[in-house]
Amino acid sequence: MSKVLYSATMSLDGYIAGPGGDMSWLRPYLQPNPPVERLQREIGALLVGGRTHRGDDPHRGTDQEGAFEGTWRGPVFVVTRQPSTGGEDVCFVGEPRAGLRAARAAAGDRYVNLLGAELARECLDLGEVDEVLTVIAPVLLGGGTRLFAHPQGRQVRLERLQVQVLPHVTNVWHRVVR
Ligand SMILES: NC(=O)c1ccc[n+]([C@@H]2O[C@H](COP(=O)([O-])OP(=O)(O)OC[C@H]3O[C@@H](n4cnc5c(N)ncnc54)[C@H](OP(=O)(O)O)[C@@H]3O)[C@@H](O)[C@H]2O)c1
């Protein structure tokens, strides 16, 4: 059975995108990250929010554009109310539950990797997220898209699994406590 992982590179103050969806802040921190490169081989499918799919990319216009700096090869399910044309491995789904079902079926016993904060919040609300990986960059952004935003507040308990300190970022892995 697949596990569902929410992963993001995050500023120290908890943002995964800057104001207006800006992702250029990420560029200095896109350096080799062997644990994340190993993780990529354990991922069977991506489940992506519509805004992430359409959003800014620090590598826009280069061959490194796209998930995992353009190296992702495999199924991508985009949750959106406005399906458009995608690449050959991109499939559009109308809501998160259907997206989770399709992505789990495609991932087999590997991870479904969630990309996008709103999508991840909805999957957390559904009780469908098993792990959270934050790659923490040593930068403050002061505004933008939060890793996890709930207008009324919501507590999600986590148990730390691993911390990997690299020269440019720190990977922090958690398991969601149920
Ligand atoms: N730092 C990182 O590692 C990282 C990783 C991923 C993303 N990001 C950034 O995070 C930002 C995007 O995150 P986000 O939280 O704003 O958005 P998101 O989760 O990527 O996407 C939200 C969108 O998903 C669709 N959606 C969500 N719930 C739905 C539902 N119940 N039914 C149908 N569609 C639904 C809608 O798409 P439509 O609007 O298409 O209908 C909604 O606007 C971008 O700026 C992206 O670049 C950063």
Residue ranges of domains in the chain: 4-176
Residue 176 has pLDDT above 90, yes or no: yes
The mean pLDDT value for 134-150 works out to 98
Task: Give pLDDT tens digits for 96-114.
Answer: 999 999 999 999 999 999 9
pLDDT of residue 86: 66
Instruction: Give the residue, out of 33, 65, 81, 82, with the most ligand 1 atoms within 8 A of its beta carbon, to mutate for a pocket test.
Output: 81
CATH of 4-176, one of 3.30.429.10, 3.40.50.300, 3.40.430.10, 1.10.540.10: 3.40.430.10
What residues are in contact with ligand 1 under a 6 Å CB criterion?
A: 8-9, 16-17, 21, 23, 49-52, 55-56, 79-82, 94-96, 115-119, 122, 145
Residue 48 has pLDDT above 80, yes or no: yes
Ranges of beta strands (E only) in 57-178 are 76-79, 90-93, 111-115, 131-137, 145-146, 158-165, 170-176
Residue 135 has pLDDT above 80, yes or no: yes
Report field, pTM of the whole predicted structure over 0.85: yes
